[in-house]
Structure 1
């Protein structure tokens, strides 16, 4: 598919494959006729696609005038009844004969209520054989016979020069497309509306809205080009200029320099811009900026977003009003409807130190994003879903989500999101004891995150080799890495990564013999989670204290409090080790056995080996525990199983994973015998049960 201008960008390549049915000849013909901007995704693909004359031009021009007219009408209108009504108006009494001639030529055939062309480039050849005046006239006649969105598009096809009433009709069509999740269609309608708009400011607004729709449709190159064009028409309009600046900041945050995004957004005072500024500063890891923007947000009227944004800033500043605002925001989560809202709820819970609640909110965001139609948001939301799955100990699921998110982010050109998924894959490799993939993914993530000043992803990427050392018992090296992580500044490290990794740092310090360092880390962790109220947050703090103070009672208390089975297994391993070494093997075996089973099922091989060795030392030589049945699935099958559990149909799953519904069904029929089940209901139940937490009593 490569042209003289190079290979098409990922999203463009996927769209061309879809439109041509993967026909190699058609792909080569089309790619050779696209501009560099179209190939790069900075401009939309032409409709119809070019290149049909070479393949079908002679056959089209060989048709009679009336047959060519019917072909042209069918090339711009899908409803055959409307096509034939228009044909009767234009060639009275000859419509049926012309249709028969067109079918007889082999170029098209009647299919249901429409006319199906034999090949995608037949439609292109028909357009190329018609004059611009003929095409406009066809659209004008069809506009008289249609209504709603179709009429708006036909009016646009018939228009010459500026036409504000037609632009308004297209704008309304775009609004309807957005309401049903059709952001790509909305972008196309707004682009054409802008072309028809005579007034510069109105044109700039429509271009700005088109940029937003293109971004949400997963077309960042096109979105940035549209936004640059919109900025040229702003003039002295301050409000519009700030809206465009906000979008520039968001685009920069996803694909460029996060510190530059902070600089762009810092000039705004609306709550929406301040929220984006807090998000950008949080990605950088710039606590001072988060505090400043949060305090500015506190001046706005209360509401979920204001309470969250202000609460995060005030909490970081040590203001007692901050945690109360965050609690009030979390109390309003039942009214949330979009993925962004749930991600803000996750941020609120994280600021309180409640990692378990943050994980739950991220998972909800993922479920909403799957069905929203916002293809551009999905790889970003999947960052948080993948992290949530990992923190819950569902390592296979986390890897499947990150692999999906990584592919989508690379296709869309979201470089910073690419770094996020690479960093998560690095940590997963560490937990599985896979040194080379851990080092490679970490290095690749840092190569993006550091120059882009995304401290959050740089921090996670640096965390991966530290946790690998911890898993493999290299405590001194792990201790050094965790200490370096804690002092890394904005753009290279992140406070959230520091506090999330504090239980690991305590374990590494104890293993390295640094008792003072362990106690200092526990004190820091206690301060960062002082407002947390969930059992899991208390369990992690109790485990840290039990380790630092050699307090077996504290470890037992942690085990009773845990709601996260993976973290419970880690605590059980630590407690079992102490009991075994204290010559109480009978007490140790139950903890070690359960930890072994969970680590084996999760695929956390280093910890599983450690638990197995301890169990043998405690006098038990049982065979390996059975693996999770879901481990039999490939990454693609696991993704499909997870989406089935979320209630998506095969058609919806196909749209999310860029597959055909038939391919999804094929995968399902491979999944069922692997798992010994026979229906989607059984599959959903199995996935849900696999995600259910282990009761504390099972660990005691």
Structure 2
């Protein structure tokens, strides 16, 4: 029975009730040992009515066993795995040891866990109970937290109990404090007779901790309970709280208890107990003493403090003997027992032992193959401690560092790598590998300029490619040219051609043929990283539309096949492609997802990338506060980290905000500063890609000379671009600086060439403005109507208001309730005298209803229009198939439709051809 927990009970009941309505969530119950967290979890498990209950408990002895907690939680529902997208199902099967390891990508695995929980929740909902989260193994904890943060549309309640200050990021928590005196008194009175002053003192001394109250009261003498003798000082706790009960056990029961303290698996405990001579009555004795019990295939202590008391009561020699016995009875050929055996061998070891270290290294490899990078890092670190040979120890520390990095623990990764570097000695291969990892760590989370320095010291093509990538993030053109020159000495191949070609192109030495040869091999590419290099090649050729297509392919490959934790990086480029296509809602959704994943992975510089893209999206939507906030946060990371590419994008977002809102002078100043910024604070690609906007700002600010100078530079940069979209942007830039009559011709050419509807709308707006100014309003209106509709669909409100004002000035009445506020349009010239005033037809609702969808719903709708099934959509977006169906259930009534076919028709009206992508 629970005493004094009405508020906590209400919070748990609310969590379960909301989950029952499809509004799932998680709640962390945080408190000290004995506070009653487990009792509250038991309450949650019993309050769900018909809801299914799955449960797992972190066990300190299993904290280093990859996926131990997840195995316990999900084993009852593995029969539902066939309902998952195959990549997710494969990842989960591999993690649980039901199939060979999959891709090893922890994001795929986490998405699979979420999908499986969603399947288990049908039809009545699910309560997923996690106790002692502080001891849940790291890979299981990562997957569970990934799922817990994404339960909003699932009928799943996930209460988690955690002791102390163990971090559980991103989830709401409820502090489970000690009982107030009335409730504590009620608890004590239910089992003991205490004098009121004793009871009050006991409550004060224990802080109302329920376990401490009961156990301490049980240990008191009759005289102490009656107040005739003082209470013990200090009160018993930990081993002293349960030490007498452990000491009272028979020798066989104490031995069995010690085995259970270092191993929870019932079969192993019983076999080891038999090997060490404990009789069959030992386990029943533990159960009858109320210290431990059997739960399924596990031995559970009634409270973690009992386990502590048992362990503390044993001598170091006895602990080693217990580990040794458990290792002897473990089956090394079975994955789970093989991992346990390795850890027990480590627990039994005295000093360094290569055979034990090798066993731990094999366990780490198995964990890594299943995506358990955190567990692999822990096992390899311990293996290194046990390794006698310094060079082998350095190798294992290096592998541990890489596993920690991929597991989202960059601080630990750097520490391990520093230790490995000290041990590597004169070995030729390992120091270079350590150097490469140092450079990758810096590029992801540290100083990108330092990453260039570190990686450029390498002499392999892979390291030179990494160095070129780092230099491209910094914006260090000179370094990219030098690295490209060095790469040219390697044999011909895709990666060599890209790296050498980029360097030669930047140097003006005709690297375009190399880049085109590399792009000719895109049909052979299979890895997401290769598609990103192809994206870079197309970008340096100025073929932004092909670059966009390749970036999107990289994203699809990374989602389905995994990319060893690098998905947040790939999503930088996918989000950019969506933004430059004018699909602002989709771009924002991708960056929000990428931002969350990057923060979970500890990739600080990728966090800056997604923040900068969010700032640019907000600028195009005219959201000043969001733009300034995201840009400020991005700059706070990118500038000190010397990531000029992302610092430049954040600055670009602020400049675009001014341009969108018609603040031409301010925009001109910002674009001028971007063009002057050096490596680490700015970026040549940002300058290049933003030049059309810079020219528009300069013209608007009345600085014709600056506009013409920028055009000359843009013509040089675009000289090798061969796509229609690139020619369209160049024609638009020329049209901006020409006199009105010539400008109309140039802008008309640009309008005919555009493949990107959003850029076509911007050109159409400029063309319509010029046509109206040259007294050709009838011609202007068609361009302005199309631009207005495109801007409205994209949610680019500032541009829509500008087009709206131009339409009115061109003599066309526009309904404010449909297209924008009247006061924002320029009306100083009034209706044109040579064009009749005709109302704009109210846009077809079927063409604009998609604006009512959330970014997530819009992404799902777009994939449906592409013909993807719910399983395929779930695999791409890291959702469960049931979540996809839930969103479709909400999408249909919003749009007034009833089928996927109708949805596809709607999306076609909004979708654009392949969008240009830059490194902005």
Secondary structure of the 1:473 match is coil
**1:295–1:97 distance in 2 versus 1, CA, 3 Å:** same
- Would you say 1:309 and 2:495 are equivalent positions? no
Q: For 1:89-132, what per-residue CA distance to the aligned partner results, in whole angstroms no more than 9, with x for missing partners?
A: 7789949986995999885532xxx5596999699769947762
The CA deviation at 1:287 is 0.7
**1:269–1:57 distance in 2 versus 1, CA, 3 Å:** farther
What stretches of structure 1 of length at least 5 have no aligned partner? 33-52, 696-700
- Would you say 1:266 and 2:456 are equivalent positions? yes
TM-score, normalised on structure 2? Answer: 0.64
| CA distance in 2 between partners of 1:646 and 1:212 (Å) | 39
Deviates more, 1:683-692 or 1:162-171: 683-692
- Checking the alignment, whether the CA contact within 8 Å between 2:263 and 2:269 is kept in structure 1 is no
Aligned pairs for 1:248-267 (under 5 A) are 248-267=438-457
Name the counterpart of 1:199: 389
**1:346–1:576 distance in 2 versus 1, CA, 3 Å:** same
Name the counterpart of 1:287: 477
Aligned pairs for 1:336-485 (under 5 A) are 336-374=525-563, 376-485=565-674
Secondary structure of the 2:538 match is helix
The CA deviation at 1:178 is 4.4
- Checking the alignment, whether the CA contact within 8 Å between 2:619 and 2:656 is kept in structure 1 is yes
Secondary structure of the 2:775 match is coil
Name the counterpart of 2:412: 222
Secondary structure of the 1:532 match is coil
- Would you say 1:26 and 2:162 are equivalent positions? yes
| CA distance in 2 between partners of 1:538 and 1:115 (Å) | 69
Name the counterpart of 1:155: 342
| CA distance in 1 between partners of 2:472 and 2:705 (Å) | 30
| CA distance in 1 between partners of 2:773 and 2:336 (Å) | 75
The CA deviation at 1:510 is 2.4
Name the counterpart of 1:515: 704
| CA distance in 2 between partners of 1:67 and 1:665 (Å) | 54
Q: For 1:335-357, what per-residue CA distance to the aligned partner results, in whole angstroms no more than 9, with x for missing partners?
A: 32333222212111111112222
1:109 to 295, 301, 324: 295
What stretches of structure 2 of length at least 5 have no aligned partner? 1-29, 33-133, 149-156, 169-236, 820-842, 916-920
Secondary structure of the 2:814 match is coil
Q: For 1:60-107, what per-residue CA distance to the aligned partner results, in whole angstroms no more than 9, with x for missing partners?
A: 9599856984995698577x7777777777789949986995999885
The CA deviation at 1:684 is 8.8
| CA distance in 2 between partners of 1:628 and 1:102 (Å) | 70
| CA distance in 1 between partners of 2:292 and 2:872 (Å) | 31
The CA deviation at 1:311 is 0.8
- Would you say 1:139 and 2:359 are equivalent positions? no
Name the counterpart of 1:559: 751
- Would you say 1:247 and 2:437 are equivalent positions? yes
Name the counterpart of 2:814: 621
Name the counterpart of 1:535: 724
Q: For 1:612-635, what per-residue CA distance to the aligned partner results, in whole angstroms no more than 9, with x for missing partners?
A: 222233324254444754543445
Name the counterpart of 2:675: 486
Name the counterpart of 2:69: none
- Checking the alignment, whether the CA contact within 8 Å between 1:70 and 1:98 is kept in structure 2 is no
| CA distance in 2 between partners of 1:90 and 1:672 (Å) | 66
Deviates more, 1:643-652 or 1:351-360: 643-652
Q: For 1:444-463, what per-residue CA distance to the aligned partner results, in whole angstroms no more than 9, with x for missing partners?
A: 22222222221111111111
Q: For 1:312-367, what per-residue CA distance to the aligned partner results, in whole angstroms no more than 9, with x for missing partners?
A: 111100011x1111111122223323332222121111111122222222222222
Name the counterpart of 1:547: 736
| CA distance in 1 between partners of 2:475 and 2:651 (Å) | 14
- Checking the alignment, whether the CA contact within 8 Å between 2:525 and 2:531 is kept in structure 1 is yes
Q: Name the one with the larger helix percent.
A: 1
TM-score, normalised on structure 1? Answer: 0.82
The CA deviation at 1:225 is 1.8
**1:308–1:124 distance in 2 versus 1, CA, 3 Å:** farther
Aligned pairs for 1:21-170 (under 5 A) are 26-28=162-164, 69=256, 76=263, 94=280, 109-110=295-296, 114-115=297-298, 128=311, 132-133=319-320, 135-137=322-324, 139-144=326-331, 146-148=333-335, 150-159=337-346, 160=349, 161-170=351-360
The CA deviation at 1:369 is 2.8
Secondary structure of the 1:302 match is coil
- Checking the alignment, whether the CA contact within 8 Å between 1:211 and 1:222 is kept in structure 2 is yes
| CA distance in 1 between partners of 2:340 and 2:329 (Å) | 10
